[in-house]
Amino acid sequence: VSSRSFDAIVIGAGPAGEACAGQLAELGLETAIVERELIGGECAYWACMPSKALLRPGELAAETARVPAVSDAVLDPPAALRRRDEVIHELDDGGMVTWLEERGIALVRGAARLVGERRVRVGEELLEARRAVVLAVGSQAAIPDVPGLRDARPWTNREATTATAVPGRLLVLGGGVVGVELAQAWSSLGARVTLVELAPRLLANEEPFASELVAAGLRACGVDVRLDAHVTAVRRESDGTVTLALGEDGAEELAGDEVLVGVGRRPRTEELGLEHVGLEAGASIAVDAQLRVPDHDWLYAIGDVNGRALLTHVGKLQARIAAAHIAGRSDAALRDDGPPPRVVFTDPQVAAVGPTLQAARDAGVRAIAVDTRIDKTAAASFHGKGEDARARFVIDADRERLVGATFVGPDVAELLHAATIAVVGELPLCRIAQAAPSFPTRSELWLALGDWPTAHDA
């Protein structure tokens, strides 16, 4: 067994691990990163990037249909799949190797296991960390315990984002972000999609109006959305058809060519050697505000693996904080600003930050909602006819601060960051009222907040 030592060792080169290694190197620390598959992780090849590549052509086609004086666009599914392949670099991470080399980061290919404090084994090599080990091993699709499901060879996000042909009929289990986005994408490319959700609404953690508009959008593009629907058994027939039985008596059956499971994620901590450092294999890794594992001052966990928020940009923020802390910035800490910014790239899109009205009230905030319509702004005239686009601001009435916002409508993702800055920056509403949104932009929806607090004191 050969050995090498570094200031810091990062395990996992997804977006969180990469960002952390890059920042550590920038701060002058001798850094190694270990990756067992592709540099770029789930996000670059099987999640964020391919899903958005598959969604974009349909979104653009829908937009041209909404703007009078533009002919309806014609979608070319094989070309969309080719473009998706370009976006995921044909599953080749060569470009990322160069990125690491340019920063002087040592790349170690292989599966890493902790073998003791500050000690990591990769194949026949032992790596030792003088300061810290950062776990950034991410998550993978959870397969629920439905009889027959595993034997039916279901698609996870991996197959659903890299499929080389459009399935004729696609069954989607789960109406969370993964389920609704991939249902929308494959439906826009020509699949007949049925989406089955156990809860009474899609996107259960978002505002109820977001759930309603996304369900309406999916139905309008031909997706059969089944809510309150319980899948009790799955079967793959000898002719390849997949059958889902619904309800305790299995009275109704749905048939498809493929079934996609989008019902949650589990951390990749089963084969990480966690038991050698007193932690539980298979579970998420709890961390403090510095992203450090309690009682292990040398061990950090960032990104999906700590289970805080399964989003690339959250993992990258955590990466910067962990790297700064490892480099000696003792003031580096994750703030608790409530639920982070998040975008669902369906048509309509849902872009939200902070808690919903109900969640804020449940947390004891004297929260009020200001509801407004994005489609009534002057700029909406140019975004097309017949769109239904709405927004809700959630205000802490005692502190006179914005704590949450939800935008739903076509192409609202880019509206979100202004709200994120207002929430994270804890801007007083009277200062927000001083910011004039440009005319004619849909940001004029912010005028709905009025001249707070004067308008509301009167």
Give me the residues that bind ligand FAD (CB under 6 A), please: 11-17, 34-37, 41-43, 47-48, 51, 111-112, 136-139, 157, 161, 178, 268, 272, 303-305, 310-313, 315
By beta-carbon proximity to ligand FAD, the closer residue of 17 and 384 is 17
Give the type of residue at 352. A
By beta-carbon proximity to ligand FAD, the closer residue of 139 and 290 is 139
CB of 313 to ligand FAD, least distance (A): 5
CB of 157 to ligand FAD, least distance (A): 4
By beta-carbon proximity to ligand FAD, the closer residue of 119 and 401 is 119
Task: Compute the C-alpha angle 17/21/22, nearest 5°.
Answer: 115
Helices assigned H by DSSP within 230-344: 312-326
How far is residue 218's CA from residue 215's CA, in Å, rounded to a whole number? Answer: 5
By beta-carbon proximity to ligand FAD, the closer residue of 341 and 409 is 341
With b for 16 or more beta-carbon neighbours within 10 A and e for fewer, the 93-111 pattern comes to: beebeeebeebebbbbeee
By beta-carbon proximity to ligand FAD, the closer residue of 186 and 446 is 186
How far is residue 288's CA from residue 41's CA, in Å, rounded to a whole number? Answer: 24
How far is residue 75's CA from residue 317's CA, in Å, rounded to a whole number? Answer: 36
Joined tokens for residue 458: 């009167």
CB of 40 to ligand FAD, least distance (A): 7
Q: What DSSP character marks residue 25?
A: H
By beta-carbon proximity to ligand FAD, the closer residue of 225 and 311 is 311
CB of 298 to ligand FAD, least distance (A): 18
How far is residue 210's CA from residue 428's CA, in Å, rounded to a whole number? Answer: 26
Q: What DSSP character marks residue 455?
A: H
Residue 407, number of CB atoms within 10 A of its CB: 29
Q: What distances in angstroms separate CA 176 from CA 138, 196, 230, 249, 339, one per listed residue? A: 19, 10, 15, 25, 16
By beta-carbon proximity to ligand FAD, the closer residue of 208 and 307 is 307
By beta-carbon proximity to ligand FAD, the closer residue of 127 and 305 is 305
CB of 59 to ligand FAD, least distance (A): 13
Q: What DSSP character marks residue 70?
A: S
Nearest to 70 by CA among 60, 85, 80: 60
CB of 302 to ligand FAD, least distance (A): 7
How many angstroms separate the first and last alpha carbons of the chain? 76
CB of 204 to ligand FAD, least distance (A): 17
CB of 244 to ligand FAD, least distance (A): 20
By beta-carbon proximity to ligand FAD, the closer residue of 223 and 445 is 223
Residue 439, number of CB atoms within 10 A of its CB: 10
CB of 117 to ligand FAD, least distance (A): 17
By beta-carbon proximity to ligand FAD, the closer residue of 15 and 409 is 15
Give the type of residue at 75. L
Beta pairing class for 31-35 and 2-11: parallel
SS (H, E, C) 229-242: CCEEEEEECCCCCE
Nearest to 16 by CA among 415, 367, 451, 317: 317
With b for 16 or more beta-carbon neighbours within 10 A and e for fewer, the 36-71 pattern comes to: bbbbbbbbbbbbbbbbbbbbbbbbeebbeeeeeeee
CB of 358 to ligand FAD, least distance (A): 24
CB of 47 to ligand FAD, least distance (A): 3
Helices assigned H by DSSP within 175-230: 177-188, 208-220
By beta-carbon proximity to ligand FAD, the closer residue of 119 and 268 is 268
By beta-carbon proximity to ligand FAD, the closer residue of 228 and 271 is 271
How far is residue 157's CA from residue 160's CA, in Å, rounded to a whole number? Answer: 5
CB of 108 to ligand FAD, least distance (A): 8
